[in-house]
Amino acid sequence: MDLLLHLCVVIAIYSIFAMSLNLEVGYTGLFNFGHVAFLGIGAYTSAILSLAGFPFGMCLTAALVAAGLTGLLLSIPALRLQGDYFGIATLGFGEILRLVFQNEVWLTKGPMGLPGIPKPEMLGVRFESLPEYLGLAVIAVLLTYLILGSVTESPFGRALRAVRDDETAAEVLGKNAFAFKTRSFVIGSIFAGLAGVLWAHYTTFISPSDFTLNETIVVLLIVVLGGKGTRPGPVVGAIALIFLQESMRFLRLPPEWTRYLGPLQQMVFGALLVALMVFRPEGLIREKGRK
Amino acid sequence: MNVPQGENGPVLLLEVEEVFAGYGKIEVLHGTSIRVREGEIVCIIGPNGSGKSTLLKTIVGLLKPTRGSVRLSGKEVGRLDPQEKVRLGMAYIPQGRNVFPSLTVLENLQMGGVSLGDAGAVRRAVEEVLEEYPVLKGRVRAQAGNLSGGEKQILALARAVMTRPRLILLDEPSIGLAPRIIEEIYNRLQEINRRGVSLAIVEQNARKALAVAHRGYVLDLGVTRLEDTGAHLLDNEEVRMLYLGEKGNGPEQEPQDPGSRR
């Protein structure tokens, strides 16, 4: 039972992370391969501040602001690059940030990580036990779903999709494509930061190895599997992928094979991605009108 | 042909003077000049690589001139970005009918409402445009990517009209369309023009465009080679030989897009 609740919390956090990436990849056409950086910034900011004794509400706010500001700072140079080059720049940024977490020992304790992050307490409620934390995570998922949903359904979201379809055409209709992409990137970064905060206070221990390229790949896979550019896609993708990943734990493998379990997981993900490209390139949920 | 007259003849809307522009180190326009008066249809013809599309991109601000000036109603606009020029009444329809394929017809039109301000004004403008373009009316919920070539071009035109332009720049509006559709597009363009909107049309197969244009320019290797009324250019022996592809054995055929229905 606890395992199931645990899975639900993990799914909730990945859902938020994937929804934030979906705004960028799905709606705006920005292939961000360094999205994990903002998960890390959210997690580290909130962890460091709460370990210094600040109340959770303040840590959360600071973490979201830090993620958003970093997103803004990165977007100014990175969004001047087109397509693939933007992807490479963000990939590099994700790695740089991981190295910062690893090497700035005075701030992050480096590879030792930060243990003992307190469970969150807000408005007099302490989210200590699993069901309580799940409640908090579900509220966060719903808020993210509603906020990002209304963003994408608004004229602003329409402009994002227009920029994704044809930047030049959007510009000659009076839309500043760069400004729209920047805003999308900053909003995406903020919600990735939120996922990071929830992660840090859930596991109560974070280290640089939580924020590797692998996380970016997993979340991209979730977005693509679920159906990019759709509202429920990332949530569906997170449920499907996390269940698949965790169910592999229960494979009855001969003991001498268990050491292959990790690599096997990667292979299954790879095979899944290939199968998806062949049989359902649009993902589980299809964006309306897209072929 | 009734072009509005100012005190000293027709009022100048667009003046492109001795403009140099290109892509990075490659200069395409070497001192091109054209003028468009209010209420006028101007056609720019010329062979491949003569800089016609580059000229339009420079006028709308996608490219910035390295030298020379672009003036709209006497105001220098050469350094402005496209999104600022929309607000000054300039619309641009790029080559190849680029509607937003994943947006619906309605959403495409709404995208054109940027200069109108509030949502109510946009909705009224959309309704007006739909009345004028009944082809689109039945398809407002359709994805623009699923329209035929002709419908896409009509949509691109309707979307440009939504911005309430004084000047529309069109890059090869007839390319890849069946003759009957080209006819319809040009009828629409003349209708828009009758309401006082100036048009600058770039065409490679220029017979149709010259026939409706008040004036025309012949562009060659980035410089303005000839300027005359549309009718005169059509009659000009050299133009017919060099740019309309006439070698005494009948008119050139428009290339046809096998994919364009309706």
Identify the CATH number of the domain in which residue B90 sits: 3.40.50.300
Per-residue pLDDT band at B262 (split at 50, 70, 90):
very low
Q: What is residue B207's predicted lDDT score, i.e. its pLDDT?
A: 80
Helix, strand, coil percentages (3-state) for chain A, rounded to 5, are: 75, 0, 20
Question: Pick from A60, A190, A193: which is nearest to A119 by CA?
Answer: A60
pLDDT, one tens digit per residue, over B200-251 is: 999 876 788 888 889 989 888 888 887 778 778 877 777 777 766 665 444 4
Angstrom distance (rounded) from CA B100 to CA B109 = 10
Angle at A79 between CA A75 and CA A80, to 5 degrees: 130
- Please report residues of B whose CB lies closer than 8 A to that of A176: 81, 83
Q: Which residues contact A156 (CB under 8 A, 6 or more apart)?
A: A180, A183
Cα–Cα distance for residue pair B136/A157, rounded to 1 Å:
23
Q: So what's the pLDDT on residue B1? A: 47
- List the beta bridge partners of residue B170: B93, B201
Domains contained in chain B, number: 1
Burial class (CB in 10 A: 0-12, 13-18, 19+), B25: exposed
ipTM here: 0.80
Range from B59-68, B80-89, B245-254 carrying the lowest mean pLDDT: B245-254
Measuring CA to CA, how many Å separate B31 from each of A69, A159, B73, B89? 45, 36, 20, 25
Instruction: List chain A domain ranges.
Output: 2-212
Residues of the domain holding B67? 11-99+166-242
Strand order in the sheet with B167-171: B90-93, B167-171, B198-203, B41-45, B215-220, B223-229
Q: Which of A106, A113, A23 is nearest to A71 (CA)?
A: A23
- What confidence category does residue B137 fall into, taking pLDDT thresholds of 50, 70 and 90? confident
Q: Which residues of chain A have pLDDT under 70?
A: 288-291
Interface of A with B (CB under 8 A): 155, 158-159, 161-162, 164-166, 168-176, 229, 287-291
A226 neighbors A233 (Cβ within 8 angstroms):
yes
According to the model, what pLDDT value does residue A71 have? 96
Q: Residue A289 has what pLDDT? A: 57
Pairing type for strands B9-10 and B5-6 reads antiparallel
Grade residue B168 by pLDDT with cuts at 50, 70 and 90: very high
**Structural domain contains residue B106:** no
Closest Cα in chain B, distance from residue A86 (Å)? 21
Residue of A nearest to B109 (CA): A173
Q: Do the domain assignments include residue B127? A: no
Determine which helix (DSSP H) or strand (DSSP E) holds B92, and give its type and residue range. Answer: strand B90-93
Q: Is residue B155 part of a domain?
A: no
Sign of CA dihedral A33, A36, A39, A41: negative
CB atoms near residue B229 (< 10 Å)? 14
Cβ of residue B257 closer than 8 Å to a chain A Cβ? no
Mean pLDDT of B169-193: 90
Question: DSSP string of B158-170?
Answer: HHHHHT--SEEEE
**CA–CA separation, B137 and B129 (whole Å):** 9
pLDDT value at residue A24:
94
Which residues of A fall within a CB distance of 8 Å from B107? 158, 161-162
**Is A234 or B10 the better-scoring residue by pLDDT?**
A234
Helix, strand or coil, per DSSP, at residue B32: strand
CB B150 within 8 A of CB B184: yes
For residue A291, the chain B residues in CB contact (below 8 A) are 145
Report if residue B150 sits inside a domain: no
Side-chain-facing half-sphere of B228: CA atoms under 13 Å = 14
Give the pLDDT confidence score for residue B252 in this predicted structure: 45
Q: Report the phi/psi class of residue B260: left, alpha or beta, with left for phi > 0 and alpha for psi in -120 to 50.
A: beta
| Cα A217 off chain centre by | 10
Are B114 and A180 a contacting pair, CB within 8 Å? no
Helices (H), B70-206: 82-87, 105-111, 119-132, 134-137, 149-162, 179-194
Q: What is the per-residue pLDDT for B254?
A: 46
Which of 106-125 (B) contact A at CB < 8 A?
107, 110-112, 114-115, 119
| Burial zone of B11 (CB within 10 Å; 0-12 exposed, 13-18 middle, 19+ buried) | middle
Instruction: Say if B254 falls within a structural domain.
Output: no
Give one DSSP letter per residue of B196-257, joined into a string: T-EEEEEESS-HHHHHH-SEEEEEETTEEEEEEEHHHHHH-HHHHHHTS--SSS-PPPPP--
**Sign of the four-CA dihedral A27, A29, A30, A33:** positive
Determine the pLDDT at residue B118: 79
- Alpha carbon A49 to its chain centroid, in Å, reads 21
The pLDDT tens digits of the residues spanning A118-129 come to: 888 887 778 888
Quick one: closest CA in B to A26, which residue?
B102
Residue B121's pLDDT is what? 84
Contact list, B91 vs chain A (CB under 8 Å): 172
Q: Two tokens at B62?
A: 């996608």
pLDDT recorded at residue A65? 97
* Minimal C-alpha gap between A83 and chain B (Å): 18
- CA A24 from chain centre, in angstroms, equals 11
pLDDT at B3 over 60: no
Three-class SS state of B2? coil
pLDDT of amino acid A192: 97
Closest by CA to A192, choosing from A53, A25, A1, A80, is A25
Distance of alpha carbon A147 from alpha carbon A140, whole angstroms: 10
Which of A3-12, B116-125, B165-174 comes out lowest in average pLDDT? B116-125
Phi-psi region of B117 (alpha: psi -120 to 50; beta: other; left: phi over 0): left
Three-state SS for A116?
coil
* Chain A interface mutation, best of B100, B118, B143, B161, highest count of A Cβ atoms under 10 Å: B100
Among A161, A172, A290, whose Cβ lies nearest the Cβ of B82?
A172
Encoded tokens for B235: 């009659």
Residue B31 CA to residue B21 CA, distance in Å, equals: 8
Structure tokens at B212: 């409706």
CA pair distance A245, A239, nearest whole angstrom: 10
CA distances in angstroms from A231 to A38, A55, B228, B252, listed in the order given: 21, 33, 56, 51
Task: Report the mean per-residue pLDDT for chain B.
Answer: 83
A4 closest CA partner among A243, A256, A276: A243
Instruction: Answer whether B224's CB lies under 8 Å from B32's CB.
Output: yes
